[in-house]
Chain A
Amino acid sequence: DIVMTQTPLSSPVTLGQPASISCRSSQSLVDSDGNTHLSWLQQRPGQPPRLLIYKISNRLSGVPDRFSGSGAGTDFTLKISRVEAEDVGVYYCMQATHYPYTFGQGTKLEIK
């Protein structure tokens, strides 16, 4: 199974400041069609997860443009340009190229 490793596991951030989360996979996430199914999900307290970004850098409709994803191969990053109070929660990377799908451990974003 592919192991997804996130860093940091906790990220205290000042409102209005940037935040960055890294995710590394234990093997390439490029599929036979050349697609890389690396997603980022947000889970707010008491809520189910929701998809923010798919295929490395594609934001879902309605996701603020302060969220951006980047990376290639086995190294990926989620950036929040200016953290807002509503961004508090746990962020997961997920590889959806190979079954079984696997998630990172989660990064808890909190306000300082």
Chain B
Amino acid sequence: QVQLVESGGGVVQPGRSLRLSCAASGFSFSTYVMHWVRQAPGKGLEWVTVISSDGGTKYYADSVKGRFTISRDNSKNTLYLQVNTLRVEDTAVYYCARAIRDPEEYWGQGTLVTVSS
């Protein structure tokens, strides 16, 4: 069955970096657009970034542009999010998700990133 399993979250100080990973299984990962969406504690959903199936096209939310980088390794069925220069306001659960506007959408359970000194 389809699975998306995020990892790499944790507690980090402001200004530091993390790399989040999302391991995909149960489907043909290399054929799907993949997204990262985040949710601050007790708040709503915020779309963060997207990457095309071949990795050649990427878009970012203005709030993370220049600090976050999405990438993928189709040979490893893994999606990544490099998060640099972290801010307190980046504290959130980060979800990876497949094709979120289509009937084939699927979301992972999320990984919590806490930015605190």
Contact = CB atoms under 8 A, between A and B. Distances in A.
Interface stretch (A12-20, A70-78, A99-107): A99-107
Contact of A92 (B45, B50, B107, B110): B45
B46 interface: yes
Contacts of A104: 44
A49 interface: yes
A49 B47 contact: no
Interface string B14-47: 0000000000000000000001010000001111
Interface in B72-95: 95
Given A48-B108, A48-B110, A105-B44, A100 B101 contact: no
Interface residues of A, number: 25
A67 interface: no
Nearest to A105: B44
Contacts of A39: 100-101
A100 B100 contact: no
- Which has the most chain A C-beta neighbours within 10 Å: B45, B61, B103, B108? B45
13 contacts: A1-B62, A37-B101, A43-B45, A48-B108, A51-B103, A58-B103, A60-B103, A61-B103, A90-B44, A94-B100, A100-B61, A101-B35, A103-B47
Interface of B: 35, 37, 44-47, 50, 59-62, 95, 97, 100-103, 105, 107-110
Given A48-B95, A51-B101, 14 more contacts: A48-B108, A50-B105, A54-B102, A58-B103, A90-B44, A96-B100, A96-B101, A100-B47, A101-B47, A101-B101, A102-B47, A103-B44, A105-B44, A106-B45
Interface of A: 1, 37, 39, 41, 43, 48-51, 54, 58, 60-61, 90, 92, 94, 96, 99-106
